[in-house]
Amino acid sequence: MKLRVATYNIHKGVSSFRSMPRVHALKQALASMEADIIFLQEVQGRHDRYATKHADIWPEQEQHEYLAGDSHHAVYGMNAVYDHGHHGNALLSRYPILSSRNTDVSDHAYEARGILHCVVRTPVADLHCYVIHLGLFARSRRRQTCALVEAVTETAPPDAPVVIAGDFNDWTNELSDTLRDKLGVTEVFDQNMPSRGFGTYLRAIAGRGPKLKPARTFPAAMPWLRLDRIYVRGFDVVTAQVLHGGVWAKLSDHAPIIAGLELQTAVSEEDMRRASAT
């Protein structure tokens, strides 16, 4: 089975400067990705001020429902709540979403953060998806990463395919090794290392060479910081790409990542039984 997944911090559907609505263009851009599953951060569930100020163009639906349209199922995890609205993470999926749970991992009162866990029924296996947006402070990110490891360990069977994606705010690249060691995941850009020599790649995996590095995704106009990630388990990574420049620089301050995945052949008997029953 092949799967196309994407992650994108959409900056609440407004431009980085002057907060002009971009949600209609965002919907078109998401459709152009042709992704089966999309992990979204900073999704505006409600914003009364924007809705009033831009009443002629602001969608009546919550953003995750509007962006999903008729092609995807959608689940929203509310994190930050304020007088005039709220925002959080969301998952859009072409396949049915069997269950969802949003776990509060806020480290202090000034940054509301959550882990949105969804189980997606694909034709071959039940896929565990985790939408992430970690904090701006290193200590917060480390504690939230520990919470993520615990969540995945407790909710995803060891042989289940897993995708963890979102805005990790980990510009120093301190968290990837923890996730690889504790969860057995691969970041979708890890396989770029062989271009520097296969020996370099092997030394990096063994911890004796340069660190494996995710892609640069921020700011979208000229990506420099490595903030956004897609980690997978149970998949081979076929393609991985950052979409930046042109229209993407106008939609959000982050550039989206899109990856083509292929499910590895070892699928549990339980997953096969479930797939045959649907």
Residue 32 maps to which CATH number? 3.60.10.10
Residue 25 within a domain: yes
- Residue 131 pairs with which residues in a beta bridge? 116, 165
Between 268 and 252, residue with greater pLDDT: 252
Q: Is the pTM value of this prediction over 0.85?
A: yes
Tokens of 209: 């060479």
Total of domains in the chain: 1
Q: How far apart are CA 15 and CA 21, in angstroms?
A: 6
Model confidence pLDDT, tens digit, residues 59-92: 889 999 999 999 999 999 999 888 888 999 999 9
Residue 114 within a domain: no
Residue 139 within a domain: no
Q: How far apart are CA 195 and CA 152, in angstroms?
A: 31
- Please report the pLDDT score of residue 246 as a whole number: 85
Residue 24 within a domain: yes
Query: Over 80: is that where the pLDDT of 278 sits?
Result: no
Residue 119 within a domain: no
Model confidence pLDDT, tens digit, residues 214-262: 999 999 999 999 999 999 999 999 999 999 888 899 999 999 999 999 9
Residue 244 within a domain: yes
Please give the angle made by the CA atoms of 258, 224 and 131, to the nearest 5 degrees. Answer: 40
- Please report the pLDDT score of residue 197 as a whole number: 45
Model confidence pLDDT, tens digit, residues 5-64: 999 999 998 877 777 889 999 999 999 999 999 999 999 988 888 888 888 888 889 999
- Please report the pLDDT score of residue 194 as a whole number: 43
Tokens of 108: 């202090």
**Residue spans of alpha helices (H) in the chain:** 23-33, 48-53, 63-68, 138-155, 176-183, 198-205, 248-251, 269-277
Residue 33 within a domain: yes
Q: Mean pLDDT, to the nearest integer, of 198-212?
A: 52
What separation in angstroms does the CA of 56 have from each of 14, 51, 137, 155? 15, 9, 38, 43
Q: Mean pLDDT, to the nearest integer, of 134-163?
A: 96
Query: Over 90: is that where the pLDDT of 118 sits?
Result: yes
Residue 144 within a domain: no
Model confidence pLDDT, tens digit, residues 163-197: 999 999 999 999 999 999 999 999 999 976 444 44
Domain that holds residue 23: 2-94+163-265
